Amino acid sequence: MKTILMCPPTYYDVTYEINPWMDKTKPVNKPLAWEQWTSLRRTIESCGATVKLIEPVNGLPDMVFTANAGLIYKNRVWLSQFMFPERQGEKRHFDAWFRQNGFDVYADDTIYEGAGDSLFLGKLLIGSHGFRSDEVVYSNIKTLMLNDEVEILSVGLIDSHFYHLDTTFAPLNPNVAIWYPKAHTEKTCKELKAHAELIDVSPEEANRFACNAVVIDEHVILPSGSPKVTKAIEARGFRVHSVDMSEFLKSGGACKCLCLPLN
């Protein structure tokens, strides 16, 4: 059974601006954010996954985006080193949670933002760089944590609106993924096409974070407002569940950003 780490949005808000989506003049509707987060959690559980929670911390509004806590492989985690000072306080809380829950923790001082920038496509780890992660971190992860058991493909991102890999690429299984090609370098596009069947997401649906999907077996959970890619995914035998993520889009996040798969 898949297990996912989430953080309640108790302190979630837009109090600073560290990506193009964030605007402090557009307040978060906090009751609605709670409603949307709860809907996502219930949808995840209805798809057969277990949700574990980390306690939210006052003053760390983006801790709700647990995907950025680190990269999980078996019982190991490579802890994130956040780029922006506004999020760096999250590290010690995630570190403590992982240790308390039996994970072997690895880390260095290289800028890296975890499962937001690293996604498994079968036995291949796709690791992005360009905005929130330094490319050199992947060689360290490969030798120290993965023990050369997994190959890594390093890919470049070029659109600041899609600053994490999980905003522009989502593996559905080892052979199929959805993606927004315009957010990737030409070299990356060629490399990704060599490894999987890629379903293109339109600019309109990409901007609604359609690629920010949570996949649980044959279930795909993505933000509402993406009918074209939903149809394409369903045509390949998956069941799509749409969840309203409007309040989290104000911070440049959606379904996948709010989740960290633990296995």
pLDDT of residue 148: 78
Is 164 annotated as catalytic?
Answer: yes
| Active-site choice (7, 47, 257, 259) | 257
pLDDT of residue 143: 86
| Active-site choice (164, 184, 219, 241) | 164
Could you report the per-residue pLDDT of 160-190, keeping only the tens digit for each? 999 999 999 999 999 999 999 999 999 999 9
Domain that holds residue 20: 3-261
| CA distances from residue 161 to 183, 197, 239 in whole angstroms, order as listed | 8, 24, 28
Could you report the per-residue pLDDT of 104-149, keeping only the tens digit for each? 999 999 999 999 999 999 999 999 999 999 999 999 999 888 887 8
Structural domain count, the chain: 1
Confidence (pTM):
0.97
pLDDT of residue 149: 86
Query: What CATH number does the domain containing 236 carry?
Result: 3.75.10.10
Share of the chain above pLDDT 70, in %: 100
- Strand bridging mode 176-179 / 197-200: parallel
Task: Report the phi/psi class of residue 148: left, alpha or beta, with left for phi > 0 and alpha for psi in -120 to 50.
Answer: left
Is 7 annotated as catalytic?
Answer: no
pLDDT of residue 107: 94
